Structure formats: structure tokens, C-alpha cells
């Protein structure tokens, strides 16, 4: 394999991968830390079981920590204060955006529209009847074919 030596470095440094990811390091910076190309690191995440499991576990914990920070800000329980020391109220906009993500009842429903022109309808009907249709912008006529 092209990156076997790099994979060995990463397998030996799974604790460091875990620590760095929890600290919020980017994949590029983790690769740089190990002195390997970013492509080797990304391949290892995809195909090397030990590296993948370590990376995925760290990402799960990092995401949970970030979600807690966001949730606390949305609820106003993060202890944030303004310049005068007054508590900052909950962020209603953030709270609503979170609800859209985590609760299906709050998801935006997409409007589904079908744009069908009269020409398309005429062609479709004519095709089913086996007729040839010529459509002119000024007039519409159906000719037997």
C-alpha cells in the first residue's frame, strides 16, 4: 500500500490522534503533527480500523461537547454576561435552529412544485395516442402521423 509507513505512525499514535481531535485540531493539523500528508491521514481514517475507530470516537465526544456549548447558549444557561455583568438571555434564534435540526416537528417543509407547460402536456397526450405534434408559440396543432 502507498501509505503503509504513515499508517504505522498513526496506529502507534492513536492516543495522540484522540487527544488532538478532542482539542479541536483539524485533520490537516493532525497530519502535520505526525509529519504525514493529509491524503495519508484521510485514507487511514477511511480504511484503517484502529485509526478510524479512534478518530470516530474522538469526533463523537467533540460533537457532544460542542452541542452542549450550543445548547447552553440557546437556553441561556451558559453563564454569559454583558459588559455590565447582567446575564445574557437565551438565544431564541439559535434555539429554534436547533429544534429544526433535532425535532422533526420543527423542520422546514419543502414545497414541492411540478412545473408543467401546456406544450409538455400536449406532447405527452399525443405520444400516448401515437400522434406527431408540432408546437408553435402562436398556435398549437395536432397532426396525425
| Domain range annotation of the chain | 4-106, 113-145
Measured CA to CA in angstroms, residue 51 lies from 5, 29, 67 at distances of 14, 16, 24
Specify which of 1-10, 52-61, 118-127 reaches the highest per-range mean pLDDT. 52-61
105-132: average pLDDT: 75
Distance, in Å, from the CA atom of 14 to the CA atom of 51, rounded to the nearest integer, reads 6
Q: Would the pLDDT of 145 be above 70?
A: no
- Contacts within 8 Å (CB) and 24+ apart, 24-27: 24/62
* pLDDT range class, residue 43, cuts 50, 70, 90: very high
User: pLDDT exceeding 70 applies to what percent of the chain?
Assistant: 85
Would you tell me how many other CB atoms lie within 10 Å of the CB of residue 25? 18
Looking at per-residue confidence, does 137 or 26 come out higher? Answer: 26
Give the pLDDT score at 48.
Answer: 87
Amino acid at each position: 500500500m502507498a501509505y503503509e509507513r504513515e499508517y504505522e505512525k498513526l496506529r502507534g499514535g492513536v492516543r495522540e490522534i484522540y487527544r488532538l481531535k478532542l482539542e479541536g485540531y483539524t485533520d490537516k493539523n493532525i497530519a502535520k503533527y505526525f509529519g504525514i500528508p493529509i491524503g495519508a491521514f484521510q485514507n487511514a481514517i477511511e480504511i484503517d480500523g484502529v485509526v478510524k475507530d479512534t478518530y470516530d470516537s474522538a469526533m463523537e465526544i467533540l460533537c457532544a461537547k460542542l452541542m452542549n456549548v450550543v445548547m447552553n447558549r440557546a437556553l441561556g444557561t451558559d453563564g454569559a454576561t454583558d459588559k455590565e455583568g447582567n446575564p445574557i438571555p437565551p438565544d431564541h434564534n439559535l434555539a429554534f435552529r436547533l429544534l429544526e435540526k433535532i425535532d422533526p416537528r420543527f423542520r422546514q417543509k419543502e414545497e414541492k412544485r411540478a412545473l408543467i407547460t401546456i406544450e409538455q402536456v400536449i406532447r405527452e397526450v399525443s405520444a400516448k395516442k401515437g400522434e406527431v405534434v408540432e408546437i408553435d408559440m402562436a398556435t398549437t396543432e395536432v397532426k396525425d402521423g
